[in-house]
Amino acid sequence: MTTLRTITRLAGAAALVAVAGCAQLRAANAGPVQPMEGQLTATLHQADAEALAMRFGVADRLLAEFAETHPDTPEALETAFWRALFKLDPSNQTATRRDAAALLDGYLNGSAVVTHRGAALALRRFAAAADRPVA
């Protein structure tokens, strides 16, 4: 009986060690916590609200500050697209199409994969066409 109890206890202890080890392995293999998660979305919501209120300078500043605070991230690159879009708004009296084109060029010419490539190309062509003299 003592041997059976010892074997049962050892088996139980081994099972606990295995479960604990698996839990640690699972935790070690889990992806890192995404510190950026939601931050760009919140900033975009704020910038959008400012643009809707015709405060384009404030919207641009919010996005530029986000990019400065999070350099070399895909989210920082994404702000260039939105800044360019707001600069192309005909109601925006504080920006030029050239400003927007420069931001779009930076967005499109980087080595990173960009979310809005097609839209950015269309906006870039619009910015270039809008600067051409009317025939």
Q: What is the CA radius of gyration of the chain?
A: 26
User: In whole angstroms, how far apart are CA 135 and each of 2, 129, 132?
Assistant: 101, 12, 9
Residue 19 sits in the same domain as residue 56: no
Q: Has residue 59 been placed in a domain? A: yes
Indicate the number of domains in the chain: 2
Tens of pLDDT along 15-56? 433 434 444 434 444 455 456 679 999 999 999 999 999 999
Beta carbons of 120 and 114 less than 8 angstroms apart: yes
**pLDDT-based confidence at residue 66 (cuts at 50, 70, 90):** very high
**Range of the structural domain that residue 80 is part of:** 39-130
Residue 8 sits in the same domain as residue 44: no
Tens of pLDDT along 94-111? 899 999 999 999 999 988
Residue 9 has what pLDDT? 44
Residue 23 sits in the same domain as residue 63: no
- What is the rounded average pLDDT of the residues 105-125? 94
Residue 2 sits in the same domain as residue 58: no
Question: CATH no. for residue 121?
Answer: 1.25.40
CA distance 121 to 115: 12
